[in-house]
Amino acid sequence: MNNGYGIDLGTGNLKIYSLASGEVTNEKNTIAIINKNEMYAYGDAAYSMYEKAPETISVSFPIINGVIADFDNMQSMLLEVLDNKVGARLKGADIVLAVPTDITEVEKKAFYDMFAKTKIKARSINLCEKPLADALGLGLDVTEPTGVMVVDIGADTTEISVISLGGLVLSELLPYGGNKLDESIVTYMKRKFNLLIGMKTAKSLKEGIGSAFSESNESMTIVGRDVVSGLPIEMEIGSKIVYEGMKDDLKNICTSIKMLLEKVPPELAKDIVKSGIYLTGGGSKVKDFADYITNLTNIKVNVAENGEETVVRGLGRVLNDDKYRRFGYSMKSRIFS
C-alpha cells in the first residue's frame, strides 16, 4: 500500500509528502481572495501578490501561530494543491497530518477535520506530534531510551522539545519565529533610518546578509520609502544593521532553550550533551545561529540540511515504516468520537 500522504500545514509553507513518489511538494501557505470569499490564487502565486495587491484582492495566511485560523480557505487550498500539484488519489489513502504539541484538542481536531469533513473516503486520517516527526525527518531513531533535543524555528512559532522512548519528555511552543525576526528588522529600519520597508524585503535581508554575530560585514542594496519625504529611496544596508534588528529575538529563543535545558532530567541531559541540539525549521537558516546557541549553552548544535522539510519527511517515515506507525493517532480514539 503506497497510497499515502504526509502533510505539514506550516504557517509559512504547506509541505506534502507523497508515499508513491517519495517527493515533497512545497508551496507558500498563502491565499488571495477576491469578492470577499472567492479564491483568486493560492500558494506561490498568491504569495507573489503579498504587499503588492490592490484593495480588491485580499492576501492572507490561513495558519496563524501554528493553528488553523481560516478553516474553509485552508481546506480549499489544501485540496487544490493535492489535486493539481501533487496529483493525489485521496480515495482509500492513508493521511498523516503534523500538529504542534502545545495546542488544544479542539485546535487539533481542526487539523483532523480538514479531511474528515469532506466527501473523500480516505482509508485513515491520523495526526502526529510535530517534534516526533521532526526527529524522524532528521534521521533519528526516537524509540531508543536516548534523550534528543529538537528546536524547530518556524515562521510564527518555535517549538523546543526533548524526546525519549518515542514520547515527549518536555516541550514548549513559543509564539514567535522567523516572521518576528522580519518584523523586528522592519521596526529597526524605521526607527534608525526613517526607512519603511516591506516584510519581504526584511526577509531577504535576514536570509541574504543576516547573522547571529555582529562581526559579519556583508551588504545589500534595498529600496524603501523615506518616512519624512514620503518618496522611495535606495539604500545600502550592512549586515551589522540587520544583526541589531534581530539580536533581541535571537537572544529570546536562546534563553528559552536554556530554560528548557535546566528542566531536563540529568540522565537525558547527558545524552543531549553527547549528541548535541538539533536545529531545524525555516528559521534555522539564519547564518551562525548554531554557533550562537553553542556559545550560550556549551552544547554543539546540529543544523538540519533542509530544515523546512524535516517534519514532512518524518511523516513519510510514519507512513512507510511499521516501527514508527504508532506515532500517528486518530482523533476518534481521543476525546472526540
**10-residue mean pLDDT series, the chain (337 residues):** 91 96 96 93 97 96 95 96 95 96 94 93 95 97 95 96 96 95 98 97 97 94 97 97 97 97 97 98 94 97 96 97 94 53
Domains of the chain: 4-132+310-333 (3.30.420.40), 134-176+251-309 (3.30.420.40), 178-246 (3.90.640.10)
- What pLDDT sits at residue 76? 96
Q: How many residues does the chain have?
A: 337
CB 126 within 8 A of CB 97: yes
Q: In what order do the strands lie in the sheet with 148-153?
A: 167-174, 158-164, 148-153, 277-280, 301-303
- What pLDDT sits at residue 153? 97
299 three-class SS = coil
- What pLDDT sits at residue 36? 84
Does this model's pTM top 0.85? My answer is yes
Q: In angstroms, what CA-CA distances link 68 with 10, 250, 314?
A: 10, 26, 21
Residue 37 cell numbers, joined = 470569499
With cell 526577509, the residue in question is: 203
The DSSP output letter for 85 is: I
What residues contact residue 120 under an 8 Å CB cut-off, 6+ apart?
Answer: 90, 91
